[in-house]
Structure 1
Amino acid sequence: QTALLNFSSLLLCILLFVCTCTYARATAPGLIDRNKEGFSGLFWKCSRIGERLSPYVALCCVAMGVKILIS
């Protein structure tokens, strides 16, 4: 079963994608900031979500880590 068909795995993939985009923008802002529209704009939007909602994203990361350790 792929990660896209399992709901909890889909949420984990989205969470990891948001965290990765946020880290990439913090490391190399010119790489993410130059494409704000189109398909490449998805990376910019996810990095903004990670920056602005960082306490909630961190809480979701902790919750997902606990869930993985328990199961």
Structure 2
Amino acid sequence: MTALFNFQSLLLVILLTICTSTYAHSITPGIMDRNKDGLLGIFWKCARIGERLSPYVSLCCIFMAGSLFMGR
């Protein structure tokens, strides 16, 4: 099944995108700050979410890891 049809997998993909974008922005901020608009702007927005809501994102990561571990 693809991530679009399984809600838990879709949430996991979104969470991983936020975490990856935040990490990439901390390593190379200039590249992401230049691409605030357009298709690559999605990653800039995900990086902002990860930076500003980092406690909630980390709690979601822990929750998703627990639910994936317990579910399988």
Match of 2:46 in 1: 46
Amino acid of the structure 1 residue aligned with 2:70: I
Distance (whole Å) between structure 2 residues aligned to residue 31 and residue 62 of structure 1: 29
Return the alpha-carbon distance in structure 1 between the equivalents of residues 18 and 47 of structure 2: 6
Deviation at 1:39, TM superposition (A): 1.0
Letter of the 1:25 partner, please give it.
H
Aligned to 1:34: 34
What is the aligned-residue RMSD (CA, Å)? 0.6
Deviation of 1:30 after TM superposition, in Å, equals 1.1
* Paired amino acid for 1:35: N
The count of corresponding residues between Structure 1 and Structure 2 is 71
Q: CA deviation at 1:52?
A: 0.3
State the partner residue of 1:63. 63
- Runs of 4+ in structure 1 off by over 6 angstroms are none
Which residue of structure 2 aligns with residue 23 of structure 1?
23
Per the normalisation by structure 2, the TM-score is 0.95
Matched, 1:14 2:14: yes
Using the aligned pairs only, state the percent identity: 61
Instruction: Find the aligned partners of 2:62 and 2:17 in 1 and give their Cα distance.
Output: 15
Distance 2:40 2:67 in 1: 31
